[in-house]
Amino acid sequence: MFIGAGTAATVITLSQLSQTRRSVAQTKEVNVYSSRHYNTDDELYDGFTRQTGIKVNLIEGKDDELIERIKSEGVNSPADILITVDAGRLWRAEQAGLFAPVESSILTEKIPANLRSPDNLWFGMSKRARVFMYNKDRIKPSELSTYEDLAAPKWRGKIAIRSSGNIYNQSLVAGLIEVHGEEATEQWCRDLVANFARPPEGNDRAQIEAAAAGIADISVANTYYLPRYAKDSDPAKQAIFEKVGVFFPNQNGRGTHVNISGGGMVKTAPHKEEAIAFLEYMVSSKAQEFFALGNNEYPVVEGVPIDSVVASFGEFKMDTTNVSSYGANNALAVKIMDRAGWK
């Protein structure tokens, strides 16, 4: 099922896309396959069309489904751009040979090296910090420190986190493998599992709510979920926000783990110039501000204003490990989590 976006992002069928491909010389458009499921992105695509005159044809779906679709479409794929919400899946698409390198000084100068492919095959558009969200009545920030410390016995029965099937957690573990190696990371996973307040269930919001309700003292979640509670008209949701504090781990060391939402140009793109223009627009001040203010994410470009609620969490030091390692270490991370009993 194809889901439409805004006035500039038009839903079209695969047959129409095929017709589009055959008439690329007469068109000025870009076909975007995206797993970002935020309705607020409509305005982002509209802004691109207003500035460039290039129409956005949007196909939405889950990351892996879109990757498989492009593979199955082969050389006749109408896709120009693939956008996913995790560096691990960008790496999967890269390994499947879906991306073409993009030589753009705009992209390489504006996006930090650790937030893009070393071979310029894909680029971060926004970043997400995976942090501790703690119950303010039970935990003092001074008690918190690092991801590694979550394995300490003092946290027995106090941690809420999503399942091992969640790509955000797989990328977190993959990042630890890059830093500490396989053996130490597996021991960390085993000790973390022993500290679970409950078997993993639900999404990041469920972990935040578990901390607010006192089911757990600490949850692990991406920052952009929490501001939604503050902005909700429901007093019960606002109360959840008030009960939960945000802590950025590893500030005295390598920094907090970050992931990206990003994209790249498909190797068989029928509209290559338009695709590059689209990627470059994503790091413009206007687009970066939109990512920050429209979806509570962090911009990848320095100096862009961020949402006021997000800003209230404070500034943080980012781990500069290249996010491509999340994909390279993903298979091993999944094996380690399975061996450790992380369900």
Strand 159-160 and strand 81-84: pairing? Answer: unpaired
Is 282 exposed, middle or buried (CB count within 10 Å of its CB: 0-12, 13-18, 19+)?
buried
Which residues of the chain does CATH 3.40.190.10 include?
Answer: 9-127+259-305, 128-256+315-339
In CATH terms, the superfamily for domain 128-256+315-339 is Periplasmic binding protein-like II (3.40.190.10)
Q: Which residues contact 276 (CB under 8 A, 6 or more apart)?
A: 102, 104, 265
| pLDDT tens, residue by residue, 249-271 | 999 999 999 999 999 999 999 99
Please tell me the distance from the alpha carbon of residue 303 to that of residue 232, in angstroms, as a whole number.
28
Q: What sign does the dihedral 150-152-155-159 (CA atoms) show? A: positive
- Computed over every residue of the chain, the mean pLDDT equals 92
Q: Note the pLDDT of residue 139.
A: 97
Q: Note the pLDDT of residue 193.
A: 98
Q: Note the pLDDT of residue 43.
A: 86
Q: Could you give the count of Cα atoms lying within 13 Å of 265 in the half-sphere of its Cβ?
A: 24
Q: Note the pLDDT of residue 169.
A: 97
Residue 11: pLDDT band (50, 70, 90) is low
Q: Which CATH architecture has domain 9-127+259-305?
A: 3-Layer(aba) Sandwich (3.40)
pLDDT for residue 6 is more than 70 = no
Rounded mean pLDDT, 40-46: 86
pLDDT for residue 3 is more than 50 = no
Q: How far from each other are the two terminal CA atoms of the chain, in whole angstroms?
A: 31
Rounded mean pLDDT, 164-185: 97
Among 37, 92, 35, CA closest to 63: 35
Q: Note the pLDDT of residue 294.
A: 87
